[in-house]
Amino acid sequence: MPDIRTLLAQAGSSLDPVTGAISMPIYQTATFAHPALGQSTGYDYSRSSNPTRAALESTMARLDGAAASFAFASGLAAISTALSLFNHGDHLVVAEGCYGGTQRLLDQVFSRFGLTVSYVPVTEPDAFAAAINPHTKAIIVESLSNPLQEVPDLPALAQLAKSRNVQLWVDNTFLTPYWLRPLELGADVVIHSASKYLAGHNDTIAGILSVRDAELASRIGYLQNAMGAVLGPQDAWLTLRGLKTLALRLEQQQSTAETLAQWLGQQPFVKQVYYPGLPEDAGHRLLKQFAGGAGAIVSFEVDSVGTLARLIEQTRLIAYAESLGGVESLITVPALQTHANLAPEERERQGVTETLVRLSVGIEAVSDLIADIETSLAGYASKR
């Protein structure tokens, strides 16, 4: 297989035999004409398949090393479709600290259909093993927990899943196939919120499922068509466009994140930094064993709500907004945004405090980002 940087640069590229165009067109059509009775071009209706979406799906299958990949209207649409594989009475083991939207979906929606969930600490493989029961169908983890960036032992979990005959699903939004290919470690399903790093420009909502086994892929393909939460051609094209620069963006973003994490760790207003790219981080050594990078999300806890408010309200380059992975740096308060649906005591138990900040590092100059943070707090430290 070519280097992943080459695959990314060529994402969706295919010389048109008539015009010679090298960029995948946007096939903005709902339906396709048939050449004759009983004949089809291979495309019938865009919910079932669309050439632009198909180009994205085949590209993601190559990037993830999957039997097949499927593109959806959002990351949660992808997860919802995959969860529809299960039946009343089935059980899942899910890592604590997962994306708040995933937990809301499990606890408030699929629980009504009889799907049960056990949440276990992400860094304790033995806890996953203990939680498996005869009804367990899958283990679900994120390659890095959100927002504390805890590192799961993916090789150990893959071995556990295989030994207990359950599936392993990995949400790889934070690391992407550029830094990590979970299917190669033994995962069965990989989930991406393609709205984030894959598309990369804060202008697209999309989700991807990549599946290792052809039989399971066939089942998910059926559900994709049956449930209909598919990605439209415009957003498929934007995601393909974003993939072409993924390697360049991630290298820059990770480099800046490392510098910012080191700088934040030296600031008096910061109580704790969570970034597995730092050698002193609890998950650093484990992550290096199976991933090529630590990503570009830096979470940190500040010393007071007042400091938090200054950061949110006074920064000018760094926008206060949900989401992550785009070229612009964004700051998020998980307790008020991504994890607001959790009870306060549950947030505290998971370490999602009211003074925790999640910083999605963009491609700006690191000196300007540091200056933006410093300026936002100028004159405030002496008043505390």
AA letter at 214: A
The Cα 347–Cα 248 span in angstroms is 35
- What's CA 107's distance to the chain center, in Å? 20
Exactly one of 43, 47, 107, 137 is catalytic; name it: 47
User: Are the C-beta atoms of 174 and 323 separated by less than 8 Å?
Assistant: no
| Residue 147: both structure tokens together | 């927002």
Exactly one of 62, 181, 196, 310 is catalytic; name it: 196
User: What is the C-alpha R_g of the chain?
Assistant: 21
Exactly one of 27, 99, 197, 275 is catalytic; name it: 99
Exactly one of 64, 90, 153, 171 is catalytic; name it: 171
User: Are the C-beta atoms of 129 and 160 separated by less than 8 Å?
Assistant: yes
Q: N- to C-terminal Cα distance for the chain?
A: 57
The Cα 348–Cα 357 span in angstroms is 14
Find the angle CA(247)-CA(360)-CA(266) to the nearest 5 degrees. Answer: 110
Clarify whether 181 is annotated catalytic: no
* Helical axes 214-227 vs 75-83, angle rounded to 10°: 110
The Cα 206–Cα 79 span in angstroms is 11
207-211, strands of its sheet edge to edge: 68-72, 207-211, 189-193, 167-171, 136-142, 91-95, 116-120
Contacts (Cβ under 8 Å, ≥6 apart) of 345: none
Determine the 3-state secondary structure of 8 from DSSP: helix
Clarify whether 47 is annotated catalytic: yes
Clarify whether 99 is annotated catalytic: yes
Please state, in angstroms and as integers, the Cα–Cα distance from residue 330 to each residue in 124, 316, 320, 333, following that order.
Answer: 30, 11, 6, 10
Q: Which residues does the annotation mark as catalytic?
A: 47, 99, 171, 196
